[in-house]
Structure 1
Amino acid sequence: MEFITREILSTNWLTILILACLSLLVAAKRLNALRFNEFIMLFSTNKYILSSQKANRLSTVFNSLLLLMQIVSVSLFLYLGVGVFQWEVQSLELNLFFKIAIVYTFIVICKLLIEKIVATIFSIDTVIDEYLFYKVSYRNFMGLILLPINIVFIYTFQASQIAFLIIFILLVILNMIVMISFYKKNENIILNHLFYFILYLCALEIAPYFILYKLVS
């Protein structure tokens, strides 16, 4: 059997990021164990959505902790993806992670603010608040899904391009299913404002991630 050596880069700061994500999850659970247990069962039951969105809890400390965990986890996954596809491999350092994290955070926060402004202008705060909570909750959960994947990629084996693409495509499909389920639930509202809905998809759901890709690459 021929052994293939793998170059091991320093993982000290990566370990700190992983521990930070775990700490955020622990803090969220200690803050509200009941809601946390409902959150981790999000794809098997919508109890978390039903019990939380009516109280407009998007801006609570609990959701802020989960959102921060999502930002770190997703940014780390994107950082690892840069290494997998060998885009400027020689610059894979902490500063690149921060670049990705800052751009991703900027896009996420700006999208939320713009959507809230649009909701106020068109007097559709109730629908948009429900939509934002629904979307952010499921994306926080996807950040949770990515956490063990990041751990495996960092400490166990280096992912191939095919493996990374499969995971990325599955996450995109999962995100589309989540969004379509909400759109279908509010089908009548969307059909009555179809032009604005298409404009929204292009401007706030597709363009930001294309910009993120261009800025990082």
Structure 2
Amino acid sequence: MEIITREILSTNWLTILFLISLGLLVTAKGLNSLRFSDFMMLFNNNKYIISYQKPNKLSSPFNAVLLILQIASASLFIFLCLHVFELELASFEITLFFKITIVYGVTIMFKLLVEKIVATIFSIDDIIDEYLFYKISYRNFMGVILLPINIVFVYALQPTKIIFIVLFALLLILNLIVLISFYRKNENVILNHLFYFILYLCALEIAPYFILYKLIK
């Protein structure tokens, strides 16, 4: 019988990362257990969005904790993807992970800042705040979903290229569904400002992720 060797990632720092991520989940629940329960049912109903989509809710400690978790989970998922596709470059594992985390985190925060500035300039704070809360809430939830997936990939299942391609496709579809559902909800506002909406999509929804891809590559 031929022995097939399997390359194993160092799990020391990954274990610490998972403990921190689980600690963030516990912290979010401790901040507001009722809100956390509503958040975990986000894909089943709109109760969370309806109840907490109010001014200044975007910058709440609850959202901040979940945003940090999203950044950690998404960065690790990208790191594992690069590892499977053998694109680790010349960096040490943890160094590469921190590079991805910094680039991803800075991109997310810079994008939020620019969107808030655009909202202020064009006096559309209400609709943009609603949009940002809606989008970030669902992406934070996807960050929570990625946490157990990452744990399985590190400790139990050797992921393949096909698995990552399927997962990326599913995440892309989920993001599109979330965005389209919001756009349909505000269809009249978008149609009245269609040209600016197209510019917004190109400048703030497509370009940042293209730049993120180029920087990580």
* Same fold (TM > 0.5): yes
Identity of aligned residues (%): 69
Secondary structure of 2:4's aligned partner:
coil
**Letter in structure 1 aligned against 2:158:** Q
SS at the partner of 1:210?
helix
Q: Residue 163 of structure 2 corresponds to which residue in structure 1?
A: 163
Aligned-partner Cα distance in 1 for 2:8–2:75: 21
Aligned to 2:44: 44
Q: CA deviation at 1:6?
A: 1.4
CA displacement at 1:144 relative to structure 2: 0.6
Counterpart for residue 197 of structure 1: 197
Aligned AA (1:156) = A
- Tell me, in whole angstroms, the C-alpha distance in 2 between the residues paired with 1:94 and 1:88: 11
Aligned to 1:56: 56
2:117 counterpart residue number? 117
Structure 2 match to 1:98: 98
| Aligned position for 1:18 | 18
1:32 aligns with 2:11: no
* Aligned residue in 2 for 1:85: 85
1:136 matches 2:148: no
Q: 1:92 to 1:158 in 2, by over 3 A?
A: farther
Q: Which amino acid in the other structure matches residue 23 of structure 2?
A: S
User: What is the rounded CA distance, in whole Å, between the counterparts of 2:90 and 2:4 in structure 1?
Assistant: 21
Partners in 2 of 1:9 and 1:24 — Cα distance? 24
Deviates most, 123-132 or 80-89: 80-89
* 1:60-107 C-alpha deviation (Å, 9 max, x unpaired): 101100000000000000010110111135535111111101011111
Q: Which moved more, 1:9-18 or 1:163-172?
A: 9-18
Q: Within 1, Cα distance between the matches of 2:185 and 2:139?
A: 18
Distance (whole Å) between structure 1 residues aligned to residue 126 and residue 142 of structure 2:
25
Q: Matched residue of 2:195: which SS?
A: helix
Q: Aligned partner of 2:46: which letter? A: N
Q: TM-score by structure 2 length?
A: 0.97
Query: Which amino acid is 1:36 matched to?
Result: F
Cα distance in 1, alignment partners of residues 111 and 167 from structure 2: 24
Q: Distance between the aligned counterparts of 1:85 and 1:6, measured in 2?
A: 14
Return the alpha-carbon distance in structure 1 between the equivalents of residues 56 and 185 of structure 2: 19
Whether 2:31 is the aligned partner of 1:8: answer no
Q: Distance in 1 between matches of 2:168 and 2:92?
A: 20
Aligned residues: 217
Provide, for residues 112-170 of structure 1, a one-character-per-residue CA deviation record: whole Å limited to 9, x for no partner: 11111111111111000000000000000000111111001111122110000100110
* Unaligned runs of at least 5 residues, structure 2: none
